[in-house]
A and B are shown apart, each in its own frame.
Chain A
Amino acid sequence: DGGITQSPKYLFRKEGQNVTLSCEQNLNHDAMYWYRQDPGQGLRLIYYSQIVNDFQKGDIAEGYSVSREKKESFPLTVTSAQKNPTAFYLCASSSGQGAETQYFGPGTRLLVL
C-alpha cells in the first residue's frame, strides 16, 4: 500500500533535549511538508521541501530543523531552542510540479516532560 508513515505515534522529550520525528513516503512524491497543530487549532507550516537536498522555512521554523537527503524521507528535529514543543506534528507530501493536493501521515504527538 502506498502512503505516508510517521513514527513514533507518541514521543516524550525532556526539557533541553533534541528529538527527531520520522516521516517516510512511498508515493514517489517530490514535495514534502511538516505542520504543527495545537489543540483546537489549524495547521501551521514548519518546513517544506520541493525536491531532494532542498528545503525552505515555513511560517514557524524557529526551533526546528529538517533534512531531505532522500526523496522518500523528510525527518524533523525539534531542538532545545523550541520553547513550546508540545503539539501534534503532521507530515504531508504532494507530487510537486504544481500539483497542490497534499496527503497526510497519521501524525506524531510530542509531549515534554
Chain B
Amino acid sequence: GQQLNQSPQSMFIQEGEDVSMNCTSSSIFNTWLWYKQEPGEGPVLLIALYKAGELTSNGRLTAQFGITRKDSFLNISASIPSDVGIYFCAGPPRSNFGNEKLTFGTGTRLTIIP
C-alpha cells in the first residue's frame, strides 16, 4: 500500500528545545492527522487538519496542512519529558473518497536527553 514519508526518523533533543517534523506524500490528501504513540500503548490523536493551509494548535503543539495538499508539518514548542514517543502522520488519500482507510507515516521517534 501507499506510504507517507516522515522525517526525521528519530530525534534526540534536550528538554526545552523546539521540535519540527514533517510528512510528505506523492499524492494529494484531503485530511491530515497527527498521532502520538507511547511505548506499549495505542496511538492517541493530537491534531486533525481538514483544509489546505490550515494551521491548528493543541497546547504546545502546532500542525499545518501544506498548501500543495501533499505535506504536513508538526511543531512542538518547549519540549518536556512527557513528549517522548513516536509521532505518526496519517490521512486518507483523495483516491480513497468514500472509503475511510488511512495511510500511515513511518513515524518520528522523539527522545529527550536529560
Q: Which chain A residues have a beta carbon within 8 Å of chain B's beta carbons?
A: 4, 6, 31, 33, 41-45, 48, 50, 58-59, 88, 90, 92, 94, 96, 98-107, 109
Q: Which of B57-65, B68-76, B103-111 contacts A (4 or more CB under 8 A)?
A: B103-111
In the complex with contacts A43-B88, A59-B1, A94-B100, A101-B105 CB distance below 8 A: no
Q: A42-B107, A45-B1 are in contact. Are A100 and B44 (CB under 8 A)?
A: no
Contact status B48-A101, CB under 8 Å: yes
Q: Are A100 and B45 in contact (CB under 8 A)?
A: no
Tell me what chain B mostly uses at the interface: helix, strand, loop, or mixed: loop
Interface string of B1-31 (1 = CB under 8 A from A): 1010000000000000000000000000011
**A104-B44 contact in complex given A42-B88, A42-B105, A43-B88, C-beta closer than 8 Å:** yes
Chain A residues near B33 (CB, 8 Å)? 100-102
Minimal Cβ-Cβ distance residue in B for A91: B42
List 11 additional A-B contacts (Cβ < 8 Å) besides A41-B107, A50-B99, A102-B100: A4-B42, A43-B88, A58-B101, A88-B40, A94-B100, A100-B31, A100-B91, A102-B45, A102-B90, A104-B42, A107-B41
Q: Which of B1, B30, B43, B107 has the most chain A CB atoms closer than 10 A to its own CB?
A: B43
A33→B99 CA distance, assembly (Å): 12
Q: Whole-angstrom distance between the alpha carbons of A101 and B30 in the complex?
A: 12
Count of B interface residues, CB-CB < 8 Å: 27
Contacts of B84 in A (CB 8 A): none
Chain A contact surface mostly: strand
Min distance, Cβ B95 to any Cβ of chain A, angstroms: 13
Q: Does B66 contact A (CB under 8 A)?
A: no
How distant is the Cα of A32 from the Cα of B31 in the complex, in angstroms?
A: 19
CB-based closest 6 A-B pairs: A104-B42, A59-B1, A43-B104, A100-B92, A42-B104, A42-B106
